Amino acid sequence: MLSAHEIGNWGLTDVEQLTFAAGEGRVLFTFNTADYVKVHLDWLEQGRGHAGIIVSNQLHLSQTTRRLLSVLNRVTADEMRGQIRWL
């Protein structure tokens, strides 16, 4: 798991963040639900693929962690590919 801040991607746009994640084959997790739903729909319309997006409202850290681990334990990488999932 990587954070945008940790790898120097803090200032990138949403599209640039998803482009980076897609290039790395990584699922992107964000609290920026509205913007990433739009980016996801734009990518679908353009026929672009990505490894997946998980969106969530900002919750307490323990609740976010528990829900994220639950999704990661139930959903395979293939099932996640090209999808957007709500935490």
Decide which of 76 and 4 is more confident.
76
- Give the mean model confidence (pLDDT) for residues 51-76: 94
pLDDT at 3 (0 to 100)? 86
pLDDT > 70 in the chain, percent = 100
At 1-31, the pLDDT tens digits run 788 888 888 889 999 999 999 999 999 999 9
Q: Is 81 helix (H, G, I), strand (E, B) or coil?
A: coil
Amino acid (1-letter code) at residue 14? D
Q: Is 7 helix (H, G, I), strand (E, B) or coil?
A: coil
pLDDT at 57 (0 to 100)? 92
pLDDT higher than 90, residue 43:
yes
Is 35:16 a contact under the CB 8 Å cutoff?
Answer: no
Q: Where are the domains of the chain?
A: 14-86
Q: Is 47 helix (H, G, I), strand (E, B) or coil?
A: coil
